[in-house]
Amino acid sequence: MLETKGLCAGYGGADVLHGVTARFLPGRVTGIIGPNGCGKSTLLKTLAGLHKPTAGQVLLDGVSVPDLPPQQSARNIAYLPQSRNVPEITALRMVLHGRFAYLSYPRRYRPQDYEAARRALDWIGAGDLAEKSVSALSGGQRQKVYIAMALAQDTDIVLMDEPTTYLDIRNQMEVMALARRLAELGKAVVMVVHDLGAVLRNADEVLLLHDGRVTACGSPAEVYASGRLQPAFGVAVHAVDTPDGIQYYCTPV
């Protein structure tokens, strides 16, 4: 299990996160939400071991994540950043990058690595993209390829920073569905998502950050009922019971 205890982290001597204590459970999708600048991306990078805490702990099954060797960390935690360069390589070669943690130097892919990469592409329904250049793919297709790369990495934890940004509605829904499928494989999926309604509809757990502190956490219904969403976002959040379940929408205050 991945967890934080009293976590503080920041930049240039100024903390952005203040005493964050949270757990991210296997088989669950956790949505991290909050206004811009509240520390969402910093939290994700610190969970991944890419940013060192100034205080507190990040623990994976009781072991400090910052103390893990990089290769061991990469075998346990997959991290998809908010933005990345678009390389001139095929989708299959991109997905193969997820196998780096299992290769010795010099890195030479083995038959089992190619098999894992192709299986991951097939799993997301993108096997036909294997030989296409990543730069020629649509935004939604690229995001699927990156998720396939995380799947090929074969970790128990998948961290995704704003994976639905710049995607149209259909692709946003497909990415959220893929996150759900990853959780069904038993993985702990942690997502930073700006679409408040999408998080409340799709996540199992929600962590609300405001000014670098956790102001609400729990199920979507519990976070909605906490009354903390309006102060954090400056909008009124409403819930409507529909035949497809509770749907959430926002209006100006």
For the stretch 210-249, pLDDT in tens is 999 999 999 999 999 999 999 999 999 999 999 988 999 9
3-state secondary structure at position 138: coil
Task: Quote the pTM value.
Answer: 0.96
Could you tell me if 246 and 239 are in contact, meaning their C-beta atoms sit under 8 angstroms apart? yes
Q: At residue 79, what are phi and psi to the nearest 5 degrees? A: -125, 120
- Per the CB < 8 A criterion, the answer to whether 76 and 47 are in contact is no
**Cα angle for residues 19, 29, 81 (degrees, 5° grid):** 70
pLDDT band at 160 (very low <50, low <70, confident <90, very high): very high
Listed in sequence order, the DSSP H helices in the chain are 40-47, 70-74, 91-96, 111-123, 139-152, 169-184, 196-202, 220-225, 229-233
d(C-alpha 77, C-alpha 171), whole Å: 24
Predicted confidence (pLDDT) at residue 107 exceeds the cutoff of 90: no
DSSP 2: E
String of b and e for 165-202 (b: at least 16 CB within 10 Å)? Answer: bebeeebbebbbebbeebbeeebbbbbbbebbebbbbb
Distance CA 57, CA 78 (A): 19
- Cβ atoms of 245 and 201 within 8 Å: the answer is yes
Average pLDDT over residues 65-75: 95
* 121 within 8 A of 92, measured Cβ to Cβ: yes
Q: What would the pLDDT profile of 3-52 be if each residue is shown by its tens digit?
A: 999 999 999 989 999 999 999 999 999 999 999 999 999 999 999 999 99
Per-residue confidence (pLDDT) for residue 85, from 0 to 100:
84
How far is it, in rounded angstroms, from Cα 64 to Cα 40? 20
Q: How much of the chain exceeds pLDDT 70, in percent?
A: 100
With a cut of 90, say whether residue 183 has pLDDT above it.
yes
Average pLDDT of the segment spanning 129-156: 96
Mean of per-residue pLDDT scores for the chain: 96
Residue 105 has pLDDT above 90, yes or no: no
**The two structure tokens encoding residue 7:** 């976590």
Question: In which band, very low, low, confident or very high, does the pLDDT at 62 lie, cut at 50, 70 and 90?
Answer: very high
How confident is residue 84, by pLDDT bands cut at 50, 70 and 90? confident
106: Cβ contacts below 8 Å, ≥ 6 apart:
none
